[in-house]
Structure 1
Amino acid sequence: MTLSSKPLLLTLSGAAILVLLTLGTWQVQRLQWKEDLIAKAEARVDAAPVSIAEALGRAEAGEDTEYLPVSAVGGFESPDVAHVFGTWEGRAGAYVFQAMTLDEPEGRILLVNRGFVPQDQWAESYELPDAEAFTGLVRNYGPERGLSAAVAPDAGSNLLFTRSIEVLADELAPGRKDAVLPFAIDSTLPTELPLGGTTRLEFRNAHLGYALTWYGLALGLAGVTFVLLRKSG
C-alpha cells in the first residue's frame, strides 16, 4: 500500500465504521422500545375489561389498543362463521370468526375470534356460550403479506388463510362493511368448542442480535483496517 492510499483507506473505513455503529445504536434504541412495548402489553392483558365503545374511542384517538381487554354486549344475528387456518399446541385446525352486532355502539359490527377448533371438529356453526357479554382482547388485524395474502380462500371448506379485517368483513358482513369496527377481538371466554383463550402473547424481539451483528461488523472492519495499515508500514 502506498503512502498516498492510506488516507483513502482511513476515510472509507472510518465512514463505513460510523455507519455500522449508527445502525447498531439504532437497533439498541429499537430494543428498548420493543421491551417497553412488550411490558405494556403484558401488563395490559391483566387489566379490567373496558367497553367496546371506550376501546373504539381510544383507537380513534390514536392510542395503542392491542391486547386491551374488552367486554362486548350484543348478539350474533347470523350463525355464519369463517374458519381461518391456524395451529394450536401442535394441532392443525382453524380459528373461528363470527360477526357480532353490538348494542353499543349501536348497530356496529364486531368481528370475534371465538377460538380454535381442530380440523376434524369443524362445523357450519357453533353453540354460543351462556354469557351476558363476550370478553376478549383487542386485535388490530391488518392486511397480511406473504403466503397468507397470496393463498385464495377455499370456498369448498369455508377456509381462509388471513385474519385481515377487510377480508373477514367481506365474508361475514357483506353489504355492511362500513359498520365493521377497525379491530377484532380474541375471545377470552373459557369455552371448549371453539376453544377460547388461545391468544398467543409471544413477541419477536431480535433487536439485540441485530445490534451485536452491526457492532461486530464495525469491530471486524476496524481490525482489518488496522492490519492493513500495519502491513503497509
Structure 2
Amino acid sequence: MTFRPMPIMSVLAVLGLAILIWLGSWQWVRYQEKLNMPEQLAESAFVQVRGEAQGAQLQYVYTTFSGEALWRVFQAVDGCYQGDGADEVCDAPLFVDIGFLSTLRPEEEAFEPEAVSPNGADYVIASEGRGGLFGASDEPDAGIWYKASAPAMASALGLAGAEQAVLLEPERIEIFRQSETGFRPATSVENPFANPAKVDDLPPARHLGYALTWFGLAMTLIGVYLAFHISTGRLGFGRKR
C-alpha cells in the first residue's frame, strides 16, 4: 500500500471532518436530551412564592417563540420561595417573568404593566440562558439582555445577594402587543421557558435527522478525500514495486 497525502488538502479535510463530527455529536446529544425530557412538569418542579414587586427597573431578555422575536419581561420581587418539602428561601433576589413583549426594542416608558403579586401562584425556577456565538452585547444599564442571567440582572440593579438570584417562570404567560392605547395582553400561551422540553419547537426526530446529516457529510468527506488521492495515484492498495 502506498499513500502520499497532499498537505494542504489533508489539513483542510481534518478540520472539516472535526467540525462535521462536532455538529453531529451536538445534535445527537440534543436528541437524547429531548427524549428524556417530560412533556408535562411534575408537581415537585413548582415552587410557591410570596412577596411584593419592587419598583426596580424592568429587565428584558430577548427570545424567539413560534418564529416571532419577543422579549421576556422580568419584574424584580422582594420575597421568598419554597419548593415541595424544601426550606423557604428568602435571601435571594427574585425575577418573575410577567409576559412576552412583542416589539423590536423594549422601552420601559412605553410598556407599563400592572405590578405582579406572586402570592398564591406556582412558578418554575428557570435555567440560565445561553448566549449565541454572534449575539448582541447585553446592555445592563438599560435592562436589556441577550442571555438570561438572574445574578447579572441583580448585580446590575445593585440588589443584595445577587449571586443567589433566580428566574421564576409561570406555567402560562401572556404576549403583550401594541394597541392604540399602548401594550395590552393579546394572547395567553403555554410558557415554553417553564419546561425545558419546550424551549424550542424542534421535536426529537428533527435533531436525529440533523445528526445523521452531519455524520453523513463527514463520511462523504472521507470518501471524496480517498477517491481524489486514488485518482491522482497518491493512494494505492497494490503491492509496492
Which of 80, 84, 89 lines up with 2:61 in the alignment?
Answer: 84
Distance in 2 (CA, whole Å) between partners of 1:11 and 1:230 is 8
Distance in 2 (CA, whole Å) between partners of 1:165 and 1:188 is 19
Superposition CA RMSD, Å:
4.3
Q: 1:148–1:86: structure 2 CA closer, same or farther, 3 Å change rule?
A: same
Letter in 2 for 1:33: V
Aligned residues of 1:70 and 1:135 also touching (Cα < 8 A): yes
Number of residue pairs matched? Answer: 202
Gaps of 5+ in 1: 1-5, 51-68
Equivalent residue, structure 2, for 1:134: 122
Matches within 5 A, 1:102-181: 102-103=80-81, 104-119=88-103, 122-128=110-116, 132-136=120-124, 138-141=126-129, 146-149=134-137, 151-153=138-140, 155=142, 159-172=144-157, 174-178=158-162, 180-181=164-165
Aligned residues of 2:51 and 2:117 also touching (Cα < 8 A): no
Cα distance, 1:163 vs structure 2 = 2.2
Cα distance, 1:191 vs structure 2 = 4.5
Deviation sequence 1:128-178 (CA, Å, 0-9, x none) = 2686123236222256653332x53573xx544442333311345x23144
Equivalent residue, structure 2, for 1:7: 2
Matches within 5 A, 1:12-31: 23=18, 30-31=26-27
Q: Is 1:212 the equivalent of 2:216? A: yes
Gaps of 5+ in 2: 82-87, 177-184, 193-197
Structure 1 length normalisation: TM-score?
A: 0.63
Q: Secondary structure at the match of 1:126?
A: coil
Q: Is 1:99 the equivalent of 2:56? A: no
Identity level (%): 17
Deviation sequence 1:47-100 (CA, Å, 0-9, x none) = 3232xxxxxxxxxxxxxxxxxx42232213414322334454565552111223
Q: Secondary structure at the match of 1:72?
A: strand
Distance in 2 (CA, whole Å) between partners of 1:106 and 1:28 is 43
Aligned residues of 1:187 and 1:196 also touching (Cα < 8 A): no
Between structures 1 and 2, the one with greater strand share: 2
Cα distance, 1:208 vs structure 2 = 2.9
Cα distance, 1:216 vs structure 2 = 0.8
Distance in 2 (CA, whole Å) between partners of 1:140 and 1:186 is 12
